[in-house]
Amino acid sequence: MAEPILDSAGQTPPVPRRPPSPPPLSRRAAHVEIWCVLALSLGASAVAATISFVGALTAPEALSEQTASLVTSAADAERPWLDLSWQLYRLVFALAPVALVLHLLHRSGDSARAIGFDLRRPGFDLGWGALVAAGVGLGGLVVYLVSVQLGLNRPIAPSTLNGHWWQHAVLVLQAVKNGVLEEVVVVGYLMLRLERLGWSPVRAVAASAVLRAFYHLYQGVGMFFGNLVMGLVFCWLYRRCGRVMPLVVAHSLIDIVAFVGSVHLIGRLDWLPGA
């Protein structure tokens, strides 16, 4: 029979206890959590986009004569270091809701893996992300061009960063930020929480897609419906593969092409509207 292990004082050391499992999230707590997350992130963006759209509709100019700016300069052109500081500040703190969501998932017994926000399948994520980006991006471009021609959308100026040497790096980082923030919060987190609350898959998908459409409403009616369709497609793909990473890759690639491409193409292609 093995002798017990004693510590330096000749006493049997206490058996370490496992940390207690987190209590199950109540329905009320889950509802409060969802509303708080959305109020601090894309729910607030949806409200701001709606107000912006109402302002655009009531302006003297038609929608097609206005411009929606996405990545804007935060300082005058003579102080690029200040502008860069603001851009980096915006990037870092815009991702705070993602950190909050991952923390909340961990506290409730889940993790980033529960929504497929990890690097376990890089080939799958990159491959499918690129395919989805090609299909959705092309469709989105067609919707945008037609909407502007019909007067249903503002022309979009993706970048007004004054051509500084760091412009392209900031645009790429902004695109990746958009992909991470939107897909983690609006697809992975929101759908997981809603389905745990007993929502049907159809209802959860509809809620996610409608929210995505509303926080793009400032661009116009065309992109509202374009993003509604994008939301439905992305939610369907998420339910099929159980991972948000392909969606993060796809969204990031779409925005990289839009942001960086606009710098070189707007003003050079007659069929491409913009500032």
Q: What is the pLDDT of residues 215-225, one digit of tens each?
A: 999 999 999 99
* Mean pLDDT, rounded, of the chain: 90
Give residues with Cβ within 8 angstroms of 162, minimum separation 6.
73, 77, 80, 83
Range of weakest confidence among 65-74, 184-193, 232-241: 65-74
Question: Residue 159: is its pLDDT beyond 90?
Answer: no
Answer yes or no: are the C-beta atoms of 257 and 130 closer than 8 Å: no
Residue 43 is predicted with a pLDDT of: 97
Cα angle for residues 89, 94, 100 (degrees, 5° grid):
125
* pTM assigned to the model: 0.88
Q: What is the pLDDT of residues 58-117, one digit of tens each?
A: 999 988 889 888 888 988 888 999 999 999 999 999 999 999 999 999 999 899 999 999
Reference 249, options 144, 115, 125, 163; nearest CA is 125
Residue 172 is predicted with a pLDDT of: 96
Q: What percent of the chain has pLDDT over 90?
A: 71
DSSP bridge partners of 159: 71
Residue 275 is predicted with a pLDDT of: 53
Residue 5 is predicted with a pLDDT of: 55
Residue 270 is predicted with a pLDDT of: 72
Q: What is the pLDDT of residues 100-115, one digit of tens each?
A: 999 999 999 899 999 9
Looking at residue 14, its amino acid is P
Cα gap 187→101, rounded to integer Å: 12
Residue 11 is predicted with a pLDDT of: 61
Q: What is the pLDDT of residues 5-16, one digit of tens each?
A: 555 666 665 655
Answer yes or no: are the C-beta atoms of 155 and 223 closer than 8 Å: no
Residue 156: phi, psi to the nearest 5? Answer: -105, 130
Answer yes or no: are the C-beta atoms of 94 and 174 closer than 8 Å: no
Cα gap 266→216, rounded to integer Å: 21
Reference 111, options 40, 183, 189; nearest CA is 189
Cα gap 78→162, rounded to integer Å: 10
Q: What is the pLDDT of residues 238-253, one digit of tens each?
A: 999 999 999 999 999 9
Residue 78 is predicted with a pLDDT of: 87
Give one DSSP letter per residue of the chain, joined into a string.
Answer: -PPPP--TTS-PPPPPPPPPPPPPPPHHHHHHHHHHHHHTTHHHHHHHHHHHHHHHHTSSS-GGGS-EEEEE-SS-TT-HHHHHHHHHHHHHHHTHHHHHHHHHHHHTT--GGGGT-SSS-HHHHHHHHHHHHHHHHHHHHHHHHHHHHTT-B--EEEEESTT-TTHHHHHHHHHHHHHHHHIIIIIIIHHHHHHHTT--HHHHHHHHHHHHHHTTGGGBHHHHHHHHHHHHHHHHHHHHH--SHHHHHHHHHHHHHHHHHHHHHTTT-TTS---
Cα gap 237→186, rounded to integer Å: 14
